[in-house]
A and B are shown apart, each in its own frame.
Chain A
Amino acid sequence: MSKELLFKYVLTLGDDALILGQRLSQWAYKGPFLEEDIALSNISLDMFGRATLFLEYAATLKGNDSTADDLAFKRNEREFSNHILCEQPNGNFADTMVRQFFLDAFYKLFLQSLTKSKDAQLSAIAQKSIKETTYHLRHSSKWIIRLGDGTAESHEKVQSAIDNLWMFTNELFEMNQIDNNMLTQKIGVDCSSIKAEWDQIIDEVLSESTLKRPENTHMTSGGREGIHTEHLGHLLSDMQYLQRAYPDAKW
């Protein structure tokens, strides 16, 4: 039973990285300029690398010769447990950067805590990933400041991205049964306890960017239970196409 819960916990962390990585990869060849195109593709690669580490671990916990690829390409939408924020469309550059900034700030705190996990493999993955996330956060924070404190148009676009994506942020700090079980076993992270620090990172950057933090917005969630927005299905149909059309194809 306990191993089953650990499997689900690790799978969820893999799903977050995989879906965000896939979203970022959709910027390849479409970045606003060459350097940023490369930056987004690099961050996407880091997320795919992280997804591989989590999903390979999840596959070993599942057993039965299950592989990371099976988990990535042969599950349906309702079986994915990523945060809804990860699957939100790229939109314009400000939308992508705000999504990234919210998530980078969260992952920095989450991974910091996960390095102390009693589970040696989760701790090792966290130690590896935190370095990359720290770098990503520096990049996304700088963009929020540059766009917010930039032209009237860039300010308006980034403020609108913040207002639109804010409703997905509360989900990051929710704790379900699996999270609570993992926390009791000192394997998982207490997400509710990192909210205050996340708020602080967000507030500091928003204030420097002359941007406003939304107030009293309706919050939505459900990703952890497989209840997603309409965007995830489209993302999966693209990502999983090859393995669905030609099962077990290798090259």
Chain B
Amino acid sequence: MVKEISTHTIWELLKTIPDPEIPAISIVDLGIVRNVHFKETTLHITVTPTYSGCPAMSFMKDEITRHLELQGITNYQVNTSLAPAWTTDWMRDEVKAKLKEAGIAPPSDEINCPQCDSKKVQVVSEFGSTACKAMYKCLDCLEPFHHFKQI
């Protein structure tokens, strides 16, 4: 029964789980799902934390569990690995585009206003409402915005 499900199907399933704090992107987009494979009949999913103290981490693991069980998958293990350490370099260009669409300046050496693309921006706070974001404001259109920190 379980063997009929391919890892591809699992990846597609995981792509439907939104990041709890930035619902515009999925947990796969975020880059925390590192590996999906079957070992005999057990499904193994490996995730890696974004920030070590990120409170959303346990919520994301619970969401993975919940989605698997909704599909009738009961024989699984969700493991955490620390190395290699999570980096925003794993974020693909299309994911960065989704962030910009949601009003969040994506991780980059050069931070532009997600609203008007102005380069004239100013940091308001290096820490934001979540561990992964910093606060900025645009000096042209005056909109405040979040920047997804590059690490």
Contact = CB atoms under 8 A, between A and B. Distances in A.
Interface of A: 35-36, 38-39, 42-50, 52-53, 120-121, 123-125, 127-129, 131-132, 135, 138-139
Interface residues of B, number: 23
B97 interface: no
A35 B82 CA distance: 29
**Interface residue SS majority, chain A:** helix
Given A45-B55, A49-B52, A49-B53, A135 B84 contact: no
A124 B151 CA distance: 16
Interface string B88-117: 000000000000000000000000000000
B51 interface: yes
A127 B128 CA distance: 23
A46 B53 contact: yes
Contacts of B128: 38
Contact of B83 (A39, A45, A123, A139): A123
A46 B126 contact: no
Nearest to B52: A49
Given A125-B82, A132-B52, A39 B131 contact: no
A50 to B, nearest CB: 5
A240 B149 CA distance: 34
A43 B83 CA distance: 21
